[in-house]
Amino acid sequence: MEPEQEVLLALGRVRLAKFMARRGVASRREAETAIAAGRVSVNGLVAEIGAQIDPAVDVVRFDGKPLPEEPDKVYYLLYKPKGFITGRDDPEGRRSVLELLEGLAVRVEPVGRLDFDTEGALLLTNDGDLAHALTHPSRDVPKRYTAKVYRTPDASDLRAIRTGVFLDDGRTSPAKVRVTDKTDKENAWVEVTVTEGRYRLIRRMFAQLGHPVSKLRRESFATISIRGMERGDLRPLTGDEVDRLRALAEGRSPEAVRPKRGKGFAKPKVTGVPRRGRRRSP
């Protein structure tokens, strides 16, 4: 927890934008935009940017309406298909992954981002504190990818990825990498695990080494895997998976967070969860 957050917590106060996000009416960024536009009031007065409130005392209204009660925390994994952005709005008119969540009764936000032309594991939750912790650079949360690259990386290329590749925005952090397969057309499949969240990191890293990426899939995020899922599938996390996320958010190493057997899917108090993906053949 940030020092400022600890002070606010001790005083029983919270940032207004964060409070609105907790109530499920907007993301923190959207809440800040609404506050700047004068759409939010505290105790009858127009709120200011950076305002702090005491939830036990202050009355907050958004567009003249009181905020709903804080919803239960929910956690989902989406197998994001290619051709979708992870934001809510796009100037180019591209489709958002949030269109795949129609019917979900609780507002959720993506944890981090996944490129438009990349598919794979994308966490979604309304737990803003957990999402913030999992995307904070200090947590070194692992993200595992499978990439199809042109030409097979040699020992020197793999060593560069393991020690750090020099990009225009700095040297990359050490990553795990291995070649998993070779094709008959000068291509190779490579598995790489990174702990950074830089823009298009995997593609830029391999391109720098002379191995442009033609296909990219995120197999897991923070140890949560899409194994057994199909493109477009959405599922709630298991209780064990949520425990693992919380442990990682607290700064514990992934190796210390082992899956436990015997736990079924978590059952958040949500109705209208959509079924996604193709029906499997019996």
CA dist 212 and 118 (Å) reads 14
278 in a structural domain = no
| Two structure tokens written together for 72 | 């239960």
Claim to verify: residue 152 and residue 215 sit in the same structural domain: yes
Spell out the alpha helix ranges (H) of the chain.
3-10, 16-22, 28-36, 128-134, 155-163, 201-208, 239-249
CA dist 119 and 216 (Å) reads 7
Residue 2's pLDDT is 53
CA dist 17 and 52 (Å) reads 9
Q: Residue 152 is part of which domain span?
A: 142-221
CA dist 186 and 188 (Å) reads 7
Claim to verify: residue 23 and residue 62 sit in the same structural domain: yes
Claim to verify: residue 31 and residue 51 sit in the same structural domain: yes
Residue 282's pLDDT is 35
Residues in contact with 7: Cβ distance below 8 Å, sequence separation at least 6, in sequence order? none
SS3 of 73-118: the string is: CCEEEEEECCCCECCCCCCCCCCEHHHHHCCCCCCCEECCCCCCCC
130 in a structural domain = yes
Total domain count, the chain: 3
Claim to verify: residue 81 and residue 39 sit in the same structural domain: no
At residue 49, the 3 state secondary structure works out as coil
Active site residues: 115
pTM above threshold 0.85: no
Residue 8's pLDDT is 47
Claim to verify: residue 132 and residue 236 sit in the same structural domain: yes
274 in a structural domain = no
* Per-residue model confidence as pLDDT tens digits over 153-169: 999 999 999 999 999 99
Claim to verify: residue 171 and residue 149 sit in the same structural domain: yes
Claim to verify: residue 157 and residue 33 sit in the same structural domain: no
Residue 275's pLDDT is 44
Residue 216's pLDDT is 97
Find, among 16, 249, 33, the residue nearest to 125 by Cα: 249
CATH number of the domain residue 196 falls in: 3.30.70.1560
The CB-side HSE value for 95 (13 A sphere, CA atoms) comes to 10
Q: Which residues in the chain come in under a pLDDT of 50?
A: 1, 7-10, 262-282
280 in a structural domain = no
Claim to verify: residue 154 and residue 216 sit in the same structural domain: yes
| Two structure tokens written together for 74 | 């929910």
CA dist 165 and 255 (Å) reads 25
276 in a structural domain = no
Residue ending a domain, among 24, 49, 66, is 66
- Backbone phi and psi for residue 37, each to the nearest 5 degrees, phi listed first: -85, 0
